[in-house]
Structure 1
């Protein structure tokens, strides 16, 4: 059997990952019909069917899934090997486009971007703030940043240095007036600042203590879709807010907010930069990922 070319194998990974010839063709810069013919030629050369095709969909066969599982880490390792000599070419330049929710974008601005500016002044970091979980490939992004549990399974991830934890906070003035709730259920008798998600649904407040999990629809007369506004509303004494720990660090240290229900804080969740493993990693993105890894080693 003639050994398939690296281009053919990379094309197969793109098709098997996207399950769509048009999107895969857009990614690798060819026509869908050309890509379809290339996949048939690959199957004939290997003597095994790799893809199930219908008029509306394409998906890997059992053999295709097995090949995909082996190729993805192999191609990622090859990219890393090639990138390891990037420093010998001189300075890194270019643009890295990142999709991230506002809260994480703020953390990157405070931590990773100053280091990028110091080490790679010729790299432009273009961050698009978006609360929705989108297809970063079709959206033209090099990488996305999301809680680890919501990252698509076919992506490669690099964890950020700091995990995310959601906590309840309120201003001292509000607590003096209305009292401090001792259990999550008591929130139902308080003024709570609702959180509307990008989908339009109201976020349910989640709590955990000694393995016991609880979720409440603790919404009051104010509903907001921006975490910074929720913090401002809580500081203003308008109610109890349920927000990420990153968003309230300054307010807690200044004393303008107090943490409540501390025994019911859910387990921290890792946050990750993620990117496709079936395409070459651009030098600008590789430089950004290296800084994320460096910051994680240093710790929070």
Structure 2
């Protein structure tokens, strides 16, 4: 069977005992420091010497000294062991308080409607956390990409992920610019869309997304055509503002443009609800304080 470990199994056993004996030049004082019996220290050192293949200590009834092999082993082992202890402490610290680098993969559409208003307050509330956002429509592998978590619309999250709700369910709305509606007319029912320029979204899978609509609780999808295809909602919304055609987008994304008169909401009674926006992470992963802090901060601010 192929050996997968770079360091042989058990190779570090007895190193702490060796270092303590080397420091105190005494098996008894080393045992006191480590809270074990002198015989346990002796056994650990003998086992280490057997694995190394050389005597590390010169023992007499009155003193303990290092052999040449012991001196060489000490010179390399002590700084390495101290680094291991420091590494353990650093990892433990991240598991106990909100600190470190927090990497999230998010779609572009989520940044302005959910994260932009919260970034400054989060960074101020948790100065020991570095927040890194990678805006992408791709459903990336969190582990392979080195991400702590991802944020997506609920319908796009794999079932094996743990999902934490960040927003209430959101309606998908159809919008168009006043100039486009003056030119093409205002649709009054879903069938009218077939005569309109309908902007479409291409999923990360490569498939063109159909438009989802709701008629008195009956959800259905309709395949439409149009002059423009985008890979994300913000780009599609920008095209709608410029009068290219009608777009279907999450309602919060279009709120500002509707309020300013750049877009008009049409087919209001046919707007379907989506599950909303969720943060997700692998189910087998323990949630670290930095991620818990982010979840709690976003949820508390969104609720307010």
Alpha-carbon distance between aligned partners in 2 of 1:229 and 1:141, rounded to the nearest angstrom: 25
Task: Assess, with a 3 A threshold, how the Cα gap between structure 1 residues 237 and 160 changes in structure 2: closer, same or farther.
Answer: same
- Contact 1:162-1:296 at 8 Å conserved across structures: no
Contact 1:158/1:292, CA 8 A, preserved across alignment: no
| 1:133 matched to 2:139 | yes
In 2: Cα distance, 1:177 partner to 1:282 partner: 54
Map of 1:1-300 to 2, 5 A cutoff?
86=96, 92-298=98-304
Residue 285 of structure 1 deviates from its aligned partner by: 1.4
Offset from partner CA, 1:33-80 (integer Å, 9 cap, x none): x9xxxxxxxxxxxxxxxxxxxxxxxxxxxxxxxxxxxxxxxxxxxxxx
Q: CA RMSD in A?
A: 2.6
Q: Which has the larger radius of gyration?
A: 2
Equivalent pair of 1:99/1:127 in contact (CA under 8 Å): yes
TM-score (norm: length of structure 1): 0.66
Structure 2: unaligned runs, 5 residues or longer: 9-91
1:142-169 deviation line (CA, Å, top 9, x unaligned) = 0011222332333222211343321110
Q: CA shift at 1:112, angstroms?
A: 2.8
TM-score (norm 2): 0.65
CA contact (8 A) 2:176 2:266 kept: yes
Q: Which runs of 5+ in 1 are unaligned?
A: 1-29, 35-81
With over 3 angstroms needed to count, the CA separation of the structure-2 counterparts of 1:293 and 1:238, relative to structure 1, is closer
SS of equivalent residue, structure 2 residue 252: helix
- How far 1:261 sits from its partner (Å)? 0.5
Q: How many residues align?
A: 217
Asked whether the 8 Å contact 1:103–1:246 carries over to 2, the reply is no
